[in-house]
Structure 1
Amino acid sequence: MATSAVARETVFALRRQIAKIEGTLSERLEAPAGSSFDADVPRQSLASSRNPTPARNLTIVRRGLAVAPPDAFLRTGAERLDAALSGGLPKAALSEFHGAATRDAGAVAGFVLSLISLILSQGPRLPVLWIGTSEVFREAGFPYAGGLHAFFGIEPEQLLFSEAPRLLDALWVADEAARMTALAAVILEIRGNPQRLDLTATRRLHARAQSAGRPLFLLRQAGEPEPTAAPVRLILSAAPAAARETIAGPLAGSIGRPAFTITIGKSRTALPGKFTLEWNPDERIFEERRGEEWAKNPVPVVSTSRRREDPATAPGAVLAFPAVGSPAAGDQSPRPERPAHRRPRRAGRGA
């Protein structure tokens, strides 16, 4: 009986570790038989006696749900989004940010740079490494140095870039950089759904981020959702900018703060949600745009894209013109023109 209880405890500890790596919910994990734990009393995750879990890595479980300390998450400042993500984005983990099309790469990059600004404001101002392939930077370009400081408070020398010729090289650089504690964060930007970035590769990157205690942000251009080890996946796109606020009210025809439309594709709580956040570059915080606030200025400043739902402009009056070759009454027929190369012959020359 003692051997069976120890075996069940070991299995339970392994299942807890797998759930932690994959970022899945833990309410389905059952306590080992014969344990004296109560479901309503907080309990620590079990570990093998040969490999005890350090005290700083212990996970508190209450009613089957993993509860992490508050400082383990990066709060965006938008209360509803943070609540849907069960506290915010995990700091020591792999997080995914998707753009449905290549044109959304700017919105994805802007949102991630906003998160980097929050990270640097809450901790040491360490450098950030941005990794991508030549194809990625050719399609989306590089961030503008002047905008980094003006909008996000990031000095140009704090953002390092690594341009790899192949995806295999970019993954190797990300795998090595994710384990470094000298970086505030690591950004890996890829395009599409490459076969090399499978579930095994994302598990390795997620484990590296957990070990270093640093976030690893995976940016995907025109990528489709697929199974990964990232506990959080956000789908981003640009939202219409509101008019700039002045003392006299909204300034007509102006462009206000950058805005993002965020859809939760995957999270630890599995709660769906769609939010519109504005980035305040002065205070360096996110502010959620509510429906009643947006109703004051519902017209986007920039014209909609080709996929707009607005009907085409009504046609004007139809005018009738005479057909070519049918002159109106009273008009004379034009004289036939002589080709320029056929000039009249001069007198005294033969035919």
Structure 2
Amino acid sequence: MATSAVARETVFALRRQIAKIEGTLPERLEAPAGAAPVDADVTPRDLTIVRRGLAVAPPDAFLRTGAEGLDTALSGGLPKAALSEIHGAATRDAGVVAGFALSLVSLILKQEPPRLPVLWIGTAEVFREAGFPYARGLHGLFGIEPEQLLFSEAPRLLDGLWVAEEAARMTALAAVILEIRGSPQRLDLTATRRLHARAQSAGRPVFLLRQAGEAEPTAASVRLVLSAAPSAPRQTLAGPLAGSIGRPAFTVSIGKSRTALPGQFTLEWNPDERNFEERRAGEERAANPVPVVSAPRRGKDPAAASGAVLAFAAVGSPAPGDQPSPSERAAHRRPRRAG
């Protein structure tokens, strides 16, 4: 009997380790009745019980965005103590990705101590292409004080990964942001598993921002693909203000999640309430009645349709009449201007 009990506890411990590697939060399988938990030193806040292959986490284990559709598709929101990926398809989407990440940081700072800083790590190439966040915009849009956002510019990706791993274990930081450009080979399963494990141990989120990167196998539990969405006009007491630019808007696509549910959502960031609001289907068209490209002033169509494409036979040598005349040939022989 004692041997079978030890074997069951060993199986539970192995399953818990496998669940960690697969990208879920710190978990323990439900032990048999009367059996002690596998990890007695784990705090109740970090416990996640797995029944029939589905992870049931406590409500405070997730960061709710405020958009019910996205939070439901993510089974409660973004995990707080985990590695999460935020992708931008092209370099021009770096501002959208950074704005969405700062919005998530603003949500975290509403729950954490207000003076807790955030560390943003990137290589020199990343900051050269995308730049740094604007300090006055941080406070106006996200409620983040400039001294709360710390930057670490690493000369190489290897150095940036090392800084991120060391920072991810610190509980003195509200969150860690690691921004990477492209799809480097060093960003593999091993590197992301270390980041994910450090985030779980510290109980802090680590956001991996990807500029123009392809979706690759990583240990992140959530992968979101971001792109810019048209902003609705600014709302006034008299109604929408025509020609104005309203709140920042994001198009969020779920590329990977714990529930494996696909979905695409258009979110607006409310800087006053500091939360996301989901834009329903049809609201964007009603809020932007003006076409993106104005109609041409001359004629109804900008250009006629192209005609048939003809293939001409290749000419072996130019015709005699196509050769330059002696006077023209002399002009080609003149010395060109130096410099």
Q: Same fold (TM over 0.5)?
A: yes
Q: What is the CA-CA distance between 1:283 and the residue it aligns to?
A: 1.4
Could you say which residue in structure 2 is the equivalent of 1:208? 198
Q: How many residues align?
A: 296
Matched, 1:54 2:47: no
* 5+ residue gaps, structure 1: 38-42, 305-311, 317-351
Amino acid at match of 1:152: F
Kindly indicate whether residue 253 of structure 2 is the aligned counterpart of residue 260 of structure 1: no
Give the root-mean-square deviation of aligned CA atoms: 2.7
Counterpart code for 1:15 = R
1:104 equivalent in alignment to 2:93: yes
Q: Which residue of 2 aligns with 1:10?
A: 10
- Aligned ranges for residues 1-351 of structure 1 at < 5 Å? 3=3, 6-23=6-23, 47=38, 52-56=40-44, 57-125=46-114, 126-299=116-289, 314-315=302-303
Q: Which amino acid counterpart does residue 113 of structure 1 have in structure 2?
A: L
Question: What one-letter code is carried by the residue in structure 1 that aligns with 2:182?
Answer: G
Relative distance call for 1:25 and 1:172 in structure 2 (3 A) is closer
Q: Deviations over 1:268-310 (max 9, x none)?
A: 1111100000001111111000013223124478769xxxxxx
Q: Deviations over 1:241-280 (max 9, x none)?
A: 1111122222111111100000000111111100000001
1:64 CA drift (Å)? 3.3
Q: 1:169 to 1:274 in 2, by over 3 A?
A: same
Counterpart of 1:272, as a letter, is P
Change (3 A) 1:272 1:90: same
Matched to 1:54, the amino acid is V
Amino acid at match of 2:104: L
Q: Take 1:237 and 1:276, find their aligned partners in 2: how far apart are those partners?
A: 10
What amino acid does structure 1 have at the position aligned with 2:218?
Answer: T
Task: Quote how far apart the aligned CAs of 1:30 are.
Answer: 9.7
Paired with 1:54 and 1:185, the residues of 2 have a C-alpha distance of: 21
Q: C-alpha displacement at 1:153, in angstroms?
A: 0.7
Q: Deviations over 1:19-65 (max 9, x none)?
A: 13322699xx998xxx856xxxxx99952xxx645353433233432
Note if contact 1:25-1:65 (Cα within 8 Å) is conserved in structure 2. Answer: no
Amino acid at match of 2:286: K
Counterpart amino acid of residue 142 in structure 2: F
Between Structure 1 and Structure 2, which shows a larger proportion of helix residues?
2
Rg larger for: 1
CA distance in 1, matches of 2:286, 2:130: 33
Q: Given the superposition, is the C-alpha separation of residues 249 and 268 from structure 1 closer, same or farther in structure 2, using an over 3 Å criterion?
A: same
Structure 1 residues 123, 58: closer, same or farther in 2, change over 3 A? closer
Q: Is the 8 A contact 1:22 1:203 kept in 2?
A: no
Matched residues in 1 for 2:9 and 2:71: separation?
34
For residues 126-174 of structure 1, the C-alpha deviation after alignment (integer angstroms, 9 at most, x for no partner) is 0110000000000100001111011111111110100011001101110
Give, in whole Å, the separation in 2 of the partners of 1:122 and 1:30.
29
Moved over 4 A (4+): 43-46, 299-304
TM-score, normalised relative to structure 2: 0.80
TM-score, length basis structure 1: 0.78
Change (3 A) 1:25 1:177: closer
Native 8 Å contact 1:242 1:301 kept in 2: no
Query: Whole-Å Cα distance in 2 between the matches of residues 245 and 280 of structure 1?
Result: 12
**2:269 counterpart SS class:** strand
User: Counterpart of 1:161 in 2: which secondary structure?
Assistant: strand
In structure 2, what is the Cα distance between the partners aligned to 1:63 and 1:160?
A: 42
